[in-house]
């Protein structure tokens, strides 16, 4: 085939096996390690478990990527997008938290870094495609239009995180892991005797890694103690360490218990008032857990034509959440609505991703949520 592919080589097992599979398929593959975070420059001090290590985790990953490239037999490059990541991903992440919303940086890391800055870098250096170790599937129709589908391995499917990429970005990418499972990936890596065959999957914030998340946020959003309030009785039931650090639906780490007059010690975050510095909680069941519709902004649709009428489809409100039936009403790129029969803990700032069966139609950011009568939920 001799098509040139620039593969994002992270130092992990998924991208390593992707390199092998692409090379086996006849592509001219080059690996590229992306460095998008600098802990010292970005004041990543609190909550950083590797700060005092002799070599930071990113450099260890780079060492693994270099070793993988040697083992698979491909050249490797290295590129930094530290400024782009801060400007387009992390600044948005902080701005959302300041407003009390729950952002997902991985979604916009794909949109602006992996599928934009990296893609442009690849084209500027003469590559025909980019490739990623994502578990996702691209299907191209007879007109050449690229559609996004769930990967065959539904437990690892990452289409949720790709919901903000454009059709043009999708068309330029190859997904070697579309039709194989994580178990098969590990088996291939072992058969090839790759040094990273048993390496743990990375977790934490995209390109930043594992952090004590609350302490990490304190680097940028100073903590301010305040009241935890039972949303039904309006009674103060505890103290929080900073309202920005909690997410809607959270029930661990609230440190509320043993309060007289309550049935048990299990509390859930139902909302936040950033201006008053109040964290609202409730015990299940309560009517404040639910919303019945939401307004989306930053609406991205991977469709040939924008819908002219309402669609009866599914939406996923969290990566590990279920596909939930919704009615989708498209207005513009800045406005669309989802209507549903009362779902728990739908939160402002979350990404709502749209599905028609296995096909991902795109998604949007939840800007507002509404009660059954259509009134806006303020918290």
Coil/strand/helix, residue 183: helix
- Among candidate residues 32, 56, 206, 360, the one labeled active-site is 206
Query: CB within 8 A of 260, min separation 6: which ones?
Result: none
Residue 50: alpha-carbon gap to chain centroid: 23
- Among candidate residues 56, 109, 294, 360, the one labeled active-site is 109
Looking only at Cα atoms, what is the longest distance across the chain?
72
On whether the CB atoms of residues 113 and 36 are closer than 8 A, the answer is: yes
Instruction: List C-alpha distances in Å: 309 to 328, 337, 367, 377, 379.
Output: 9, 12, 22, 26, 31
Alpha helices in the chain (DSSP H): 13-24, 57-72, 82-85, 91-98, 105-109, 118-124, 167-171, 182-191, 213-218
Task: Decide if 206 is catalytic.
Answer: yes
CA distance linking residue 232 with residue 289, whole number of Å: 11
Query: CB within 8 A of 112, min separation 6: which ones?
Result: 84, 88, 89
Task: Decide if 360 is catalytic.
Answer: no
Coil/strand/helix, residue 329: strand
Coil/strand/helix, residue 10: coil
Positions marked catalytic: 109, 206
């Amino acid at each position: 085939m001799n098509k040139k592919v620039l593969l994002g080589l992270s130092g992990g097992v998924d991208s390593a096996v992707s390199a092998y599979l692409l090379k086996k398929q006849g592509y001219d593959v080059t690996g590229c390690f992306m460095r998008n975070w600098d802990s010292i420059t970005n004041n990543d001090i609190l909550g950083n478990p590797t700060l005092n290590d002799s070599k930071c985790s990113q450099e260890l990953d780079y060492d693994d990527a270099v070793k993988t490239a040697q083992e698979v037999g491909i050249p490797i490059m290295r590129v930094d997008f530290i400024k782009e990541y801060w400007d387009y991903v992390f600044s948005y992440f902080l701005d959302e938290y300041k407003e009390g919303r729950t952002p997902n940086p991985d979604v916009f890391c794909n949109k602006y870094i992996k599928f934009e800055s990296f893609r442009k870098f690849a084209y500027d250096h003469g590559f025909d495609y980019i490739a990623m170790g994502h578990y996702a599937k691209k299907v191209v129709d007879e007109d050449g239009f690229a559609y996004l589908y769930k990967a065959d391995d539904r437990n690892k499917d990452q289409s949720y995180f790709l919901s903000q990429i454009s059709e043009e970005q999708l068309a330029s990418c190859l997904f070697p892991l579309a039709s194989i499972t994580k178990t098969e990936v590990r088996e291939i890596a072992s058969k090839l005797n790759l040094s990273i065959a048993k390496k743990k999957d990375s977790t934490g914030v995209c390109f930043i890694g594992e952090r004590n998340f609350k302490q990490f946020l304190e680097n940028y959003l100073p903590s301010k103690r305040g009241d935890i309030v039972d949303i039904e009785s309006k009674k103060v039931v505890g103290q929080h360490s900073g309202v920005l650090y909690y997410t809607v639906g959270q029930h661990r780490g609230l440190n509320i218990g043993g309060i007289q007059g309550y049935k048990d010690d299990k509390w859930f975050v139902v909302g936040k008032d950033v201006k008053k510095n109040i964290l609202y909680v409730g015990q299940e069941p309560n009517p404040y857990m639910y919303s019945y519709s939401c307004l989306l902004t930053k609406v991205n649709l991977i469709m040939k034509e924008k819908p002219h009428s309402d669609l009866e489809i599914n939406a996923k409100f969290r990566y590990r959440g279920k596909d939930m039936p919704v009615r989708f009403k498209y207005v513009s790129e800045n406005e669309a609505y989802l209507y549903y029969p009362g779902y728990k803990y739908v939160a402002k700032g979350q990404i709502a991703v749209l599905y028609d069966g296995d096909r991902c139609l795109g998604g949007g950011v939840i800007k507002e949520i509404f009660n059954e009568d259509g009134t806006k939920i303020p918290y």
